[in-house]
Structure 1
Amino acid sequence: MEKTLQELSEYVGGTVIGDPSIKIRGVMGIDDAQEGYITFISNDKYIKKIDQTKASAIIVSPKLKDTNPSLSQKRERSLLVCNNPYLAFAKLVELLMYKKPTYTKGIDDSARIDKTAVIGQDVSIRSYVTVGQNTHIGNRVVLYPCVYIGDNCIIGDDTIIYPNAVIYDDTVIGKRVTIHGNTVIGSSGFGYAPDGQSYYKIPQVGTTVIEDDVDIGANTTINRAVLGETIIRKGTKIDSQVVISHNVEVGENSLIVSQVGIAGSARIGKHVTLAGGAGIVGHIQIGDNVTVGGYSGVINDIPSNETYLGAPALPIKRMRRCYVIIEKLPEMREYMKTLEKRIKQLEERNNLPQNTQNTQRRQ
């Protein structure tokens, strides 16, 4: 599919600087882009690559254009100016390059669907899928091969579940949810009571609720609650290899990046970003609009509208000062050793007999 730069501008709500009639057939990164493709810049450090790229047009922000007036003059480069270049890039990839999958409607003969299950219209249930007792599958749901769905589950309309995902009993999944391969939802939480010699398994009798428009990456685990619900609120996006423990609540439109671990009963607010490898202890609360940096360890509550970093996690300005000190620790240690040596010498002088001190002073 080819579109003129003007058509793309109208599609993403941008402004063209240069030739609006240029034909664009796809989107590429700035290093690999060729003639006939559009690329994007969202960071000043990539401006130096403009002379090297062969792209026919570049998506930039108004700020980037205004602070670099020569940008549009370099090799007569056409620009598509958008308030959010990254979002425009995503929309153009979808428009020009993405082919939406098509699914064959129907139920494969090898699927094992309990006679009490309720199956919606226009579903696509592939080979060796299992659906348990009293489970409701919504309209236009797609279940890839070897998906297992237990008893008493609800799967909302237009949800897609990829191969080998496991949905345990009593799980509720909303509409337009995407669950990638090998993910496990509703498994037993990690709860044991010590009895003096070993550990007694605490029955996990709660449920797991995934609300509408949630995406869940591959190999992620979301545990069921001990009592009550583990809840992932609508619009949240969860990366691969994430562990969310029992009775956790994640607020709306949050981002949880790969290798994050959230311990039991933690409360995560709305529009929270947990960067890769972050660890959240149990029974704490993270407010709305919080960002937690990669590999940070959160051990206390975090108020809303804050950015935390480090292990243990601290407000980012304070942690940056700590990092500066950490870098200087070897020099500081050497300086302290020098001070200790000088102090010891002064103490030894002060402990000399009086006549020796008088002799030293006369000398």
Structure 2
Amino acid sequence: MEKTLKELADYLGGEVIGDENIKIKGVMTIDEAREGYITFVSNIKYIKKIEETSASAILVSPGITTKGKNLLVTKNPYLAFAKVVDLMMSPEKVYPGSLDNSARVSDSAEIGANVTAYPFVFIGENVKVADNVVLYPGVYVGDNCQIGKDTVIHPNTVLHRGTTIGERVVVHSNSVIGCSGYGYAPDGKKYYKIPQVGVTVIEDDVDIGANTTINRGVLGETRIKRGTKIDSEVMIAHNVEIGEDTLITSQVGIAGSVEIGNNVILAGGAGVAGHIKVGDNVQVGGWSGVIKDLPPGGTYLGTPAIEIERMRKCFIIIQKLPEMKNTIKDLQKKIEQLEKRLGSD
């Protein structure tokens, strides 16, 4: 597919500086781009590369100018880049719209129009699958599950009984949703498994990465709200509620009964202790440990997670600890010598 720079500008709502009739056939990185391709600059530290790139055009933010280069100016070049890739380079997805002969579908299941079930899919009793759903090979859908329209579930994913999946949800391979949580009651020196009899609800437009686990509620539900994006290898425990348009990146662990607000970002490896509340618009840095409630709107770092500016000062102090230790030892010696002198007077 080829588009003129003017056609791309109209599609993105941007403005062309330079030759609007130049043909674009794809997107490449600024270091690798060559004639016929468009690239982008979203970080100010890469602006100097605009002069060096061989790309036919560059997506830039307002205020960036350069001589001899074709620019497509947009408010958000990174978002524009994603949209151009989707428009010009994403392969068209064509699904059979039928159930493979090897798929096992219970008689009580309700299957919508144009549903695709690839080989060895299992669909249990009283399941409802809406129109245009795609179930890749090896997907297991337990009893009483519901899957909304236009949802795509990738290979070997497991939906345990009673799980509800909304519309336009994407679940990547080997994820497990609605499994029993980790709960045991002490019984002397042994432990008694607490039955997990709640459900899991995934609302519309949620993405879930590969190898992610989301437990069902002990009682009640675990709920992931609309538009939230969850990376691969994330662990979400029982009765967690995650708000709308929140980003949960890889290797995050969220313990039971946590409430996370809207537009929150949990960076890679962050951990949240049980029964914690994290307010709207909070950002938590990578490998941080949240052990107390966080009010809305702050940025936190470290273990335990504290305000980022305070933690940065702590990091500086930590690096100076060896020298500080030696200074303290020297001071202790001097104090001892003074005490001896005072004692002898």
Q: Report what 2:145 is aligned to.
A: 153
Deviation at 1:100, TM superposition (A): 2.6
In structure 1, the residue matched to 2:229 is: 237
Code of the residue aligned with 1:226 in structure 2: it is V
Cα distance in structure 2, aligned partners of 1:57 and 1:332:
54
Comparing 330-339 and 256-265, the one that deviates more = 330-339
Could you tell me how far apart the structure 2 residues matched to 1:119 and 1:16 are?
48
Q: CA deviation at 1:317?
A: 1.3
Name the SS of the counterpart of 1:348 in structure 2. helix
CA distance in 2, matches of 1:247, 1:189: 9
Aligned equivalent of 2:133, options 112, 122, 141: 141
After superposition, what is the alpha-carbon deviation per residue over 1:200-242, rounded to whole angstroms, capped at 9, x for unaligned?
1000000000011111000000000000000000111100000
Residue 302 of structure 1 corresponds to which residue in structure 2?
A: 294
Instruction: Give the CA deviation at 1:98.
Output: 1.0
Which amino acid in structure 2 is aligned with residue 37 of structure 1? Answer: Y
Residue 58 of structure 2 corresponds to 58
Instruction: Please give the alpha-carbon distance, in whole angstroms, between the structure 1 residues aligned to 2:316 and 2:56.
Output: 43
Give a deviation string over 1:110-138, Cα, whole Å, max 9, x none.
11111111111111111110000111111
Unaligned runs of 5+ residues in structure 2 are: none
Q: What's the TM-score once normalised by structure 2's chain length?
A: 0.98
Larger radius of gyration: 1
Match of 1:72 in 2: 66
Partners of 1:202 and 1:295 lie apart in 2 by: 30
> Distance in 2 between the 1:4 and 1:109 partners?
45
Residues 1:112 and 2:104 aligned together? yes
Alignment partner of 1:93: what SS? helix
1:310 is aligned with what amino acid? G
Q: Which amino acid aligns with 1:54?
A: S
C-alpha separation in 2, matches of 1:8 and 1:240: 32
2:47 counterpart residue number: 47
- Structure 1 residues 327-346: aligned runs within 5 Å: 327-346=319-338
For each residue in 1:2-36, what CA deviation from the matched residue of structure 2 results, as whole angstroms up to 9, or x when unmatched?
Answer: 11111111111111112212211111111111111
Code of the residue aligned with 1:111 in structure 2: it is A
Match of 1:182 in 2: 174
Offset of residue 48 of structure 1: 2.6
Sequence identity (%): 62
Q: Distance in 1 between matches of 2:12 and 2:91?
A: 19
In the TM superposition, residue 43 of structure 1 has moved relative to its aligned partner by: 1.1
Give the drift of 1:51.
3.2
1:102 aligns with 2:83: no
Amino acid at match of 1:30: I
What is the aligned partner in structure 2 of residue 275 from structure 1? 267
Q: Which has the higher helix share?
A: 1
**Deviation per CA, 1:130-172, whole angstroms, max 9, x where unpaired?**
0001111111110001100010111111111111000000111
Tell me if structure 2 keeps the 8 A contact 1:18–1:72: no
* Cα distance between partner residues in 1 of 2:187 and 2:40: 60
Per the alignment, residue 4 of structure 1 pairs with 4
User: Does 2:239 match 1:227?
Assistant: no
Contact 1:122–1:141 (Cα < 8 Å) also in 2: yes
Moved more, 6-15 or 324-333: 324-333
| Other-structure match for 1:37 | 37
What is aligned with 1:25?
25
- The two structures, once aligned, show a CA RMSD in angstroms of 1.0
Is the 1:17–1:72 Cα contact (8 Å) retained in structure 2?
no
